[in-house]
Amino acid sequence: MWVWIVVAVVGVATVLFKATGPLFLGGRALPARAQSIVDLLAPVMLTALVVTQTVGGDGELVFDARIPGVAAGALAVWRRVPIVPAMVIAALVTALARQFA
């Protein structure tokens, strides 16, 4: 019972938190400094997720076949390969690294 109350409270708090931006800003633009920070949030969060999923373990750093795969995927994206083929390249390099390791 308490779990569902907590879930409901967190859900309502999330909706209220997300509504504050449009509610208070309306149609106005953010100041340039704030907009530059907001523009960087998504890439930084994605990078943090990739790094923690690549080398993060149970309280330790794990260096295995995922690193060459992520590097190959990053190189493919840098070379402007579309995202789906870049993911396939990353998966293939990871599989090959695991096969020959």
SS3 percent helix, strand, coil of the chain, rounded to 5, is 80, 0, 20
Residue 19 has pLDDT above 80, yes or no: yes
Q: Which secondary-structure segment (H or E) carries 25?
A: helix 2-25
Predicted confidence (pLDDT) per residue in 71-83, tens digit: 999 999 999 999 9
The amino acid sitting at 95 is A
Residue 50 has pLDDT above 80, yes or no: yes
From residue 45, alpha-carbon distances to 8, 35, 62, 67, 73 in Å are: 26, 16, 20, 19, 18
Q: What is the mean pLDDT of the chain?
A: 91
Q: Which two three-digit tokens encode residue 29?
A: 């633009």
**Quick one: pLDDT band at residue 26, thresholds 50, 70, 90?**
confident
